[in-house]
Amino acid sequence: MHHHSSHVFRAEEQSGGGTAGYNHIGDGAIFLPPLLHPDLPLLRTSPNPISKSSSSLTAGNNFPPPLAGGNQHGVVVGMAAAPGMATATATDRFCLPRMAAAAAAASQLENWGDSGVVVSSTFTDDTSTDVDDTADKHHHHALMGGGGGGCRGELRGAIFSAVSKEKTGDQKTQRRLEQNREAARKSRMRKKAYIQQLESSRSKLANLEQELQRARQQGIFITTGGSGDHGQSIGGNGTLAFDMEYARWLDDHQRHINDLRVAMNAPIGDDDLRVLVDGVMAHYDHVFRLKGLATKIDVFHVLSGMWLSPAERFFMWLGGFRSSELLKVLASHLEPLTDQQLMGICNLQQSSQQAEDALSQGMEALQQTLADTLASAAAAAGGVDNVTNYMGHMAVAMAKLTTLENFLRQADLLRQQTLQQMHRILTTRQAARALLVISDYFSRLRALSSLWLARPRD
């Protein structure tokens, strides 16, 4: 099956060079502008079709015989004006332009101007897009070989004589122009394809976000891949409630941030801005309270980060964001800073890093001791001793697990205090900008998650 756009009949030299002679007729190439022949698949010539044998005349034989006599003109006009004729025979219709062009070529050149063939130079050849139509080529060869049946010899003669009139310079110019046009057309098509891709991605994204919104309201939390019910397996209502509360908090947060953004762009006094900033900070306190409650209900759920978007989860540290990373994100957006402020921020970044490291090491120790406890519970002697031994170890393990809640709590305190200290160091306007930057950063992480979820899979 030939693509309309990818097959071009060119009575024109291929971009790869090749024969200089055969394809040129008259002042330029014979082009069949695709606009006039929407139904005609346009064919590409091969460099030396004439050299092929004429044995496979069969394809050509099916063709209504327009070549004889003075019918060429009619044929050509037919091509231009009556695509219906071209579609006469499904399998052979691709022969038509070829035949017609050959016919036109074969016809004496005095018919040339009268023919309906438009010598148009707008035609381009997608040589790069249809490299593997060898079957096509064979047909071409066959046709050209058998083209016009008996007038093959005349055809060749006519064409060669036309060619001999051509100057090489003209050819080169023509070739360059055509290549330019071809390149332009290709790039237009690429651009169109890209835009279509973008549009479809956009609509997919919009649909997905709608779905998410709906699902949130129904209390279902959508997780990536796999089964969607891992989110609330343990803790039941508790974890689900937290997920919903967090989603609601996120919406409120976005509203606060939007108000702040609008205020930043408007000429607003510092006092009013401070009210907004304080509002955002207080709202942050609210989420830490929520997390505290959730930790008591199900520490593993908070620790798992299933209530976060996938990309946020990737960066999660001990049940939330990493304060030191956040400060790094802020670094370039806070200028200009006074020396004192700069030092304050640097110290804050450093101390949050140190605190995070300390807690991380504590967590590692916790993991290690828990593993040791469970391992020693496994290695046991027999008998009743075994059971009490087992129970004893389990009790110890349980006690250690309660420490986990403490670690999570300390991590959240760290996050909260880092934000508060940052607020203390910065001016109102700087703090407002900082909060916007932070919020935008997390929005981008969430957007990345959405894009990832919506990506086309093959």
Site residues for other proteins per CB under 8 A: 344, 347-348, 351-352, 354-355, 357-359, 361-363, 365-366, 369, 400, 403, 406-407, 409-410, 413-414, 417-418, 421, 424
Supply the minimum distance, in Å, between the C-beta of residue 409 and other proteins.
8
Of 247 and 419, CB closest to other proteins: 419
Residue 285 vs residues 72, 85, 282, 450: alpha-carbon distances, Å: 86, 78, 5, 27
Of 185 and 409, CB closest to other proteins: 409
Supply the minimum distance, in Å, between the C-beta of residue 366 and other proteins.
4
Of 277 and 363, CB closest to other proteins: 363
Structure tokens at 367: 């993991």
Of 119 and 366, CB closest to other proteins: 366
Supply the minimum distance, in Å, between the C-beta of residue 282 and other proteins.
18
Of 158 and 404, CB closest to other proteins: 404
* Of 277, 258, 271, the residue nearest 426 (C-alpha): 277
Beta-bridge mates of residue 17: 14
For residues 12 and 277, give the distance between their C-alpha atoms in angstroms, rounded to a whole number.
Answer: 70
Are 47 and 18 in contact, with CB atoms under 8 Å apart? yes
Are 323 and 348 in contact, with CB atoms under 8 Å apart? no
Residue 419 vs residues 292, 425, 435: alpha-carbon distances, Å: 17, 10, 9
Residue 55 vs residues 96, 99, 149: alpha-carbon distances, Å: 19, 17, 11
Give the burial string for 377-403 (b: 16+ CB within 10 Å, else e).
beeeeeeeeeeebeeebeebbeebeee
Of 262 and 365, CB closest to other proteins: 365
Supply the minimum distance, in Å, between the C-beta of residue 291 and other proteins.
15
Are 72 and 106 in contact, with CB atoms under 8 Å apart? yes
Count Cα neighbours of 148 within 13 Å in the Cβ-side half-sphere.
29
Beta-bridge mates of residue 317: 320
Of 203 and 347, CB closest to other proteins: 347
Of 40 and 411, CB closest to other proteins: 411
Supply the minimum distance, in Å, between the C-beta of residue 347 and other proteins.
6
Of 80 and 359, CB closest to other proteins: 359
CA 335 to chain centre: 34
Supply the minimum distance, in Å, between the C-beta of residue 408 and other proteins.
12
Supply the minimum distance, in Å, between the C-beta of residue 404 and other proteins.
9
Supply the minimum distance, in Å, between the C-beta of residue 272 and other proteins.
27
Supply the minimum distance, in Å, between the C-beta of residue 262 and other proteins.
31
For residues 416 and 402, give the distance between their C-alpha atoms in angstroms, rounded to a whole number.
Answer: 22
Supply the minimum distance, in Å, between the C-beta of residue 271 and other proteins.
25
**CA dihedral (260, 265, 266, 271) positive or negative:** positive
74 burial class (0-12, 13-18, 19+ CB within 10 angstroms)?
Answer: middle
Is residue 194 within a helix (H) or strand (E), and if so which, with residue range? helix 168-217
Q: What is the CA radius of gyration of the chain?
A: 38
Of 222 and 358, CB closest to other proteins: 358
